[in-house]
Structure 1
Amino acid sequence: MLAPRKAVDIPLELEPENTAAARNALAQALAARPIDWLLQAAAGRRKRLLVADMDSTIITVECIDELADFAGRKAEVAEITERAMRGELDFAGALRARVAMLGGLTTDVLLKCFEDRIRLTPGARSLVATMRANGAYTALVSGGFTFFTSRVREMVGFDWDQANRLGITDGRLSGEVEEPILGADGKLVALRRIEATRGIAATESLAIGDGANDIPMLQAAGLGIAFHAKPKTAAAAEARVDHGDLATPLFFQGYRHTEIVNG
């Protein structure tokens, strides 16, 4: 028992050639139940690296949609965001189009948006604090903006963050985003760079995100988790969390509730 009435670890003895069949059987048996599950080898499941997306993963909202609300264009921007996250639009082009709609907003709106709109997903602090307490390096890598990632990094306790930079001229958003844009390829590069510089094997990394721009890093990590994700992302990831909060990735790693650090 990992957590009473919440999470359980069930050991199985499987030959490698039977793993796929067992996974399919579990998927069918649990499809109609609100249960998050993962079939994996017990050895090596506690990871040494966490790379997390920010918007709709570590936080509950999409920052750019909330910023657009201050410009009176939330509906337009949110529609583009949804399509981009579903993988229906080129990420970089969609980001440029959305940022253009923010042009003219004063920079004090950024802080107001952060203070009034940004809320952490339940379990975010515990996920990061527990992994760090057990020696893992934690990074927040986002297709969003450094104004927000730097603050969320401090709120949650990540070691490092990387994101895009908004253009600012005379105290107002210019309507442009600095190049190069950090998208799907940039997230993958960040994952690989951290692994290389810190001597972490790919099998020792965990990546988590919800959008199509997270797919490459999810597939490259030792454990890639689609978190309340868009259909394309959920289908591409090894693991998915559709029902639980951000404590679930800790249970996937075999942490008991008594080992979880309250961040």
Structure 2
Amino acid sequence: MDAQTVSLQLPLAQITRSTGDAPLHYLEYHPGVAELALLGLAKDTGDADLGDALTLARPLSQPLPKQPAASAVTAPWCLTLLSPGATLAQLRALLDFVAGLGASVTAVDTLSQRRERTVLRLQLDGKLDFDPVRRACLKLAEEIGADLVLQTGDSQRPPSLAGFDMDSTLIDAEVIDELAKITGIGAQVAAITEAAMRGELDFRQSFKKRMRLLKGFPEAELARIAPQLPLKDGAEPLLRALRALGCKTVILSGGFTYFAHYLQSQRLAVDTVHANQLEFADGALTGEVIEPIVDGARKRELLEQIAVEMGLPLSRVIAVGDGANDIPMLSLGGLGIAIHPKPKVRQEAPQSIDRFGLDAALYLFGLNDGQIAGLLERG
């Protein structure tokens, strides 16, 4: 039989007492408006067992709007579930986890209910120690096959300044490795890059070593490589939405200005670029570096400097990256989002998204799919 969406009204606690499972489409819970939670499940009437606790729940008396407006965040914490295939079992595990923290759920909004993506934002009240709870969220996320993002309630708003790493963050490649492939030393340079991004090598020293290996690389090849660099999934809509929101964006890259400026002028809505300059002589790379090298400390310093120049508190600043040299700036502002990060970075970054593209960051600003679509139409 075809799956049907079953909408149920029930106390939130009743969900945790259920025993069955089914795909989950939405959950809305706003005690200030209605005491009962609104739960939407896909039920195959041929074989699905939702458990007695749910089959006894009251069916919805009115149709659910396609995209309900998200409620204002008033709680001290938000915990966002981003699942490629949300289920009732995932929801139960999440509610049990919250109860185990000694916290209470004060509201739930469904920010996305696509076939391939369900996003639930839970507002939490309670005294939470951020770092150990964040790490516990990472563990639970692995167990249930989803992303779980913890943040303070006041960070659930669009930023005014966003700093982005470039390689493996905005683009799905490490440019220095691409240059090395052309010169026949791709594996050698890639191994150094990977170790540096995992935090096993000092970035400055590894960068100098890789540049020496690239001595003699022809300058004319840059124009051929730049258009071939693949964008990271979700990069273009995220940057467009941020521009529509009035947020200033900056690339802060340990890569190269040539490619960052190409992205800025041809492919992405980026306002400012800070990266490393390539030094050429007689049409070929010299193998030397031009100071200052944009390493992890420099990224953080630049992002903080830009915020000061804009007159912004750091609470209105976010950073997005993937490697160990991004950790300093990820810990600077209101949000530090690691996207498809290396293991060390996943453990240390304040927020982490593993299973979705860059545009999933928009949910962490309190936006739902309807609002995001409106921003993209404007942008």
Q: Which residue identity is paired with 2:111? A: L
Q: How many residues align?
A: 262
| 1:192-207 to 2 correspondences below 5 Å | 192-207=304-319
| Residue matched to 2:224 | 112
| 1:154-193 to 2 correspondences below 5 Å | 154=265, 155-193=267-305
| 1:9-88 to 2 correspondences below 5 Å | 9-17=120-128, 23=134, 26-46=137-157, 47-88=159-200
| Residue matched to 1:4 | 113
Residue 32 of structure 1: CA displacement?
Answer: 2.2
Name the structure, 1 or 2, with higher relative contact order (CA <8 Å, separation 6+).
Answer: 1
Normalising by structure 1, report the TM-score.
0.93
Q: Secondary structure at the match of 1:8?
A: strand
Residue 17 of structure 1: CA displacement?
Answer: 4.1
Q: Deviation digits for residues 207-234 of structure 1, max 9, x if unmatched?
A: 0111111010001121001111111111
Higher helix share: 1
Q: Which residue identity is paired with 2:236? A: R
Q: Secondary structure at the match of 1:207?
A: strand
1:115/1:42 CA distance change after superposition, 3 Å = same
The one of 328, 331, 336 aligned to 1:224: 336
| Residue matched to 1:131 | 242
Counterpart contact for 2:151–2:351, Cα < 8 Å: no
Counterpart contact for 1:9–1:254, Cα < 8 Å: no
**Which 4+ stretches in 1 moved above 3 angstroms?**
17-29
1:239/1:18 CA distance change after superposition, 3 Å = closer
Normalising by structure 2, report the TM-score.
0.66
1:101/1:24 CA distance change after superposition, 3 Å = closer
Q: Which residue identity is paired with 1:9? A: L
Equivalent pairs: percent with the same residue? Answer: 38
Q: Secondary structure at the match of 1:152?
A: helix
Q: Tell me, which stretches of 5 or more residues in structure 1 are unaligned?
A: none
Counterpart contact for 1:107–1:173, Cα < 8 Å: yes
| Residue matched to 1:238 | 350
Residue 28 of structure 1: CA displacement?
Answer: 4.0
Q: Deviation digits for residues 26-75 of structure 1, max 9, x if unmatched?
A: 44433223322212233342211110000000000000000111111100
Q: Which residue identity is paired with 2:302? A: A
Counterpart contact for 2:171–2:231, Cα < 8 Å: yes
| Residue matched to 2:207 | 95
The alignment yields a C-alpha RMSD, in angstroms, of 1.8
